[in-house]
Amino acid sequence: MAQDDPTTLVSTAWLARHMKDPDLRVLDGSWYLPAAGRDPRAEYEAAHIPGARFFDIDEISDHRSDLPHMAPPVEKFMSRVRALGVGDGHKVVVYDGMGLFSAARVWWLFRLMGHDDIAVLDGGLPKWQAEGRPVESTPPVIRDRHMTVRRRPELVRNVTEVAQASKLGDHTILDARAAARFRGDAPEPREGLRAGHIPGARSVPYTDLLNDDGTMKEPDALRAVFDAAGADLSKPVITTCGSGVTAAVINLALARLGKTDHALYDGSWTEWGAFPTVPVATGDA
């Protein structure tokens, strides 16, 4: 079992022990690819961890962008999080309905906004329910609480910065998509995107970082995954994926290893694959 760390990852047992802490806030950060045919809000309304509030990744985003669920402006994040009753002094635990998938995106977003007191629930709702722990369908009573936001731009990268990093080779770029998509052997789920990967990137499918039960692997096993991928962790890391969701699983794994100089490419392949002036590589890295 992974060691509990309230700034990265906590176990279901840890959450069960702390459920009645007055300053604990639990968020359901479930999000699914369209092909999954699942409605995260409907699933939340049917059954969620007691007291949990639903964090809508698509709604709490920058709607001025044509790209999906880009990080929202500071003001929007503040207002939406306040409406969820989450604020200064709160310890946040976020989970999702797949085990460990989209919750890491919410973890990264809170950190981007300067709130480090947040952890992902290891194994998520599936593990919680498999252990017979309680769920409820009633919404929580929410009281507004102000959150001080200090955006940390070093945790996010744009297409220009990633293109420079790819060209110079001064960063390690890690791609969380499935290996077939990385190689360009499988079509992209979004129409109009080229197939392949950012030149110089390494393939680290987010699923390789997880155990069969959806929990994250132990630190030694995580290091072995990165080593097998040829990932040079002595350099700063930029993570990427399809649309900036599962890339955050890599960021979470890096944080578990104590690495601090890593950022997420928010536009990810949805932007890069459609951008006409950036190169695309195929095959293995």
77 shares a domain with 21: yes
CA distances, 258 to each of 37, 58, 79, 82, 191 (Å): 36, 30, 31, 30, 37
Residue 47 lies in a domain: yes
Catalytic residue among 15, 198, 241, 253: 241
Nearest to 55 by CA among 10, 13, 97, 20: 97
- Spell out the residues 6+ positions from residue 260 whose beta carbon is closer than 8 angstroms to its own: none
247 shares a domain with 162: yes
Per the confidence metrics, is the pTM higher than 0.85?
A: yes
Instruction: Please tell me the total count of domains within the chain.
Output: 2
101 shares a domain with 188: no
Per the prediction, the chain carries an average pLDDT of 96
Which of 70-74, 98-102, 203-207, 272-276 has the least mean pLDDT? 272-276
CATH code, domain with 254: 3.40.250.10
102 shares a domain with 23: yes
Which domain, by its residues, includes 243? 154-272
Backbone angles phi, psi at 170, to 5 degrees: -95, 0
132 shares a domain with 13: yes
| Stretch 142-168: mean pLDDT | 96
The per-residue pLDDT for 34 is 87
63 shares a domain with 168: no
Residue 246 lies in a domain: yes
87 shares a domain with 34: yes
pLDDT(285) > 80: no
161 shares a domain with 136: no
Q: Which of 92, 125, 151 delimits the end of a domain? A: 151
pLDDT(188) > 90: no
- Using 50, 70 and 90 to split pLDDT, how confident is the model at 215? very high
Q: Which residues pair with 172 in a beta bridge?
A: 237
Residue 48 lies in a domain: yes
131 shares a domain with 183: no
Q: Are 124 and 218 in contact (CB under 8 A)?
A: no
| Whole-number Å distance between alpha carbons of 30 and 95 | 7
Residue 176 lies in a domain: yes
| Stretch 231-242: mean pLDDT | 98
Residue 3 lies in a domain: no
- Using 50, 70 and 90 to split pLDDT, how confident is the model at 276? confident
173 shares a domain with 85: no
- 156 catalytic per annotation: no
Q: Which of 151, 173, 194 delimits the end of a domain? A: 151
- Using 50, 70 and 90 to split pLDDT, how confident is the model at 44? very high
Tokens coding 127:
């593990």
pLDDT digits (tens, 9 = 90+) for 80-96: 999 999 999 999 999 99
Q: Which of 129, 151, 173 delimits the end of a domain? A: 151
pLDDT(4) > 90: yes
145 shares a domain with 65: yes
195 shares a domain with 267: yes
